[in-house]
């Protein structure tokens, strides 16, 4: 039998995790033959609620769930973990400035980065879902000098999946027939879903649709503002779809992307496509043997260039803010 993989999850008593933990325990992340240990981190006031979630995990009697560890001390909970899904974050309160949000989250992701640095397994992969995800990943990465930067990613897969779904309903094509979608930049309203390299049933999506007004005025804003539309309809932010995208990203990072396709991952830039080195920005990526690479050599037209640059400028601003705050 296989040795259990240790998966840390933060914000474990929250909405996203109420779906995420059960998907991990059922084998959707690591495969149906891989036992898993869950290492669940919460803040002290939420430990009671987390106890209830663990009771439900017990009651599901998942054959693959080997052990569950809980606590409010990252130094203990992150001990020996191979995978870290950082979901818990400080939400933006009423009247809160973006700087306050970055500072409060720096107070979470700085210490968590350090705890991972000091206690995680050597092969740890870290994925940040908690917002502002890209900059939270940047902060954690900069507080973990012994972990390679390439092991810190942020989630834009939900945006990627939303873009696939919009394109699917626009063209009446199943999402399985749609390849090479790209989200560029920040997981925020400035993100840029790019279909100029996307293939629908083997044909170029932009040529097939041939409607720049639809792209600019419908597709892009619908994808970028989907989170707000879900809140409007459900009264709560997206949770199960965010959990599913978190699984998709980490599963593909570990198991690889399918031949002839790529996925969107926010990764530390190596300078590709003019994105300043070190910013955690979304790119088209392929994964082989557990290592991702940014897809190279794509032609970027003027329409795309402006939008990528605008989103990257926002990331650079966020980096400058957290630098001034001494968080990185």
How many C-beta atoms lie closer than 10 Å to residue 7's C-beta?
A: 22
CA dist., res. 193 & res. 162, Å (int): 10
What stretch of H or E contains 19?
A: helix 15-25
Tell me whether residue 187 is one of the annotated catalytic residues: yes
Instruction: Give me the least distance between CB of 73 and ligand NAX, in Å please.
Output: 10
Out of 7, 25, 38, 41, name the contact with ligand NAX by CB under 6 A.
41
CA dist., res. 194 & res. 310, Å (int): 14
Q: How many helices (H) and strands (E) does the chain have?
A: 12, 14
Instruction: Give me the least distance between CB of 70 and ligand NAX, in Å please.
Output: 11
Cα–Cα distance list, 21 to 28, 56, 97 (Å): 10, 10, 32
Out of 30, 36, 83, 89, name the contact with ligand NAX by CB under 6 A.
89
Angle of CA points 328, 85, 56, to nearest 5°: 145
Q: Are 7 and 82 in contact (CB under 8 A)?
A: yes
Q: Residue 61 or residue 236: which is nearer to ligand NAX going by CB? A: 236
Q: Quick check: 311 binds ligand NAX (CB under 6 A)? A: no
Q: Quick check: 47 binds ligand NAX (CB under 6 A)? A: no
The pair of structure tokens assigned to 325 is 């705050």
Site string for ligand NAX, 106-145 (x = CB under 6 A): --x--------------------xxx-x------------
The count of residues interacting with ligand NAX (CB under 6 A) is: 27
Of residues 245-274, those binding ligand NAX (CB under 6 A) = none
294 is in an annotated binding site: no
Residue numbers at the binding site for ligand NAX (CB under 6 A): 10-11, 13-16, 41-43, 46, 87-89, 91, 108, 129-131, 133, 155, 158, 187, 227, 237-239, 242
Active centre residues (catalytic): 187
């Amino acid at each position: 039998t296989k040795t259990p993989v240790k998966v840390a999850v933060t914000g474990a008593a929250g909405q996203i995790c109420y779906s995420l933990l059960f998907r991990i325990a059922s084998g959707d992340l690591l495969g149906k033959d891989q036992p898993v240990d869950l290492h669940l981190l919460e803040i002290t006031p939420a430990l009671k609620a987390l106890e209830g979630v663990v009771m439900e995990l017990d009651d599901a009697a998942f054959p693959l769930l080997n052990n569950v560890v809980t606590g409010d001390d990252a130094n203990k909970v992150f001990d020996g973990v191979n995978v870290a899904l950082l979901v818990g974050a400080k939400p933006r309160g009423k009247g809160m400035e973006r700087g306050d949000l970055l500072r409060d989250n720096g107070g979470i992701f700085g210490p968590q980065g350090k705890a991972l640095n000091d206690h995680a397994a050597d092969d740890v992969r870290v994925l940040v879902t908690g917002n502002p995800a890209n900059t939270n990943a940047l902060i954690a990465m900069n507080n973990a000098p012994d972990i390679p930067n390439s092991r810190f990613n942020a989630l834009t897969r939900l945006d990627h999946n939303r873009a696939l779904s919009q394109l699917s309903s626009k063209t009446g094509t199943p999402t399985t027939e749609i390849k090479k979608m790209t989200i560029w930049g920040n997981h925020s309203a400035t993100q840029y879903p790019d279909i100029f390299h996307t293939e629908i049933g083997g044909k170029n999506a932009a040529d097939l649709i041939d409607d720049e007004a639809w792209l600019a005025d419908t597709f892009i804003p619908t994808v970028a503002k989907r989170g707000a539309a879900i809140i409007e309809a459900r009264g709560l932010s997206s949770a199960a779809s965010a959990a599913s995208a978190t699984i998709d990203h980490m599963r593909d990072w570990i198991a690889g992307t399918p031949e002839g396709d790529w996925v969107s991952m926010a990764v530390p830039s190596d300078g590709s496509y003019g994105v300043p080195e070190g910013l955690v920005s979304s790119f088209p990526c392929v994964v082989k043997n557990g290592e991702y690479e940014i897809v190279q050599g794509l032609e970027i037209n003027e329409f795309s260039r402006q939008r990528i640059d605008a989103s990257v400028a926002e990331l650079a601003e966020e980096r400058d803010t957290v630098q001034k705050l001494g968080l990185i």
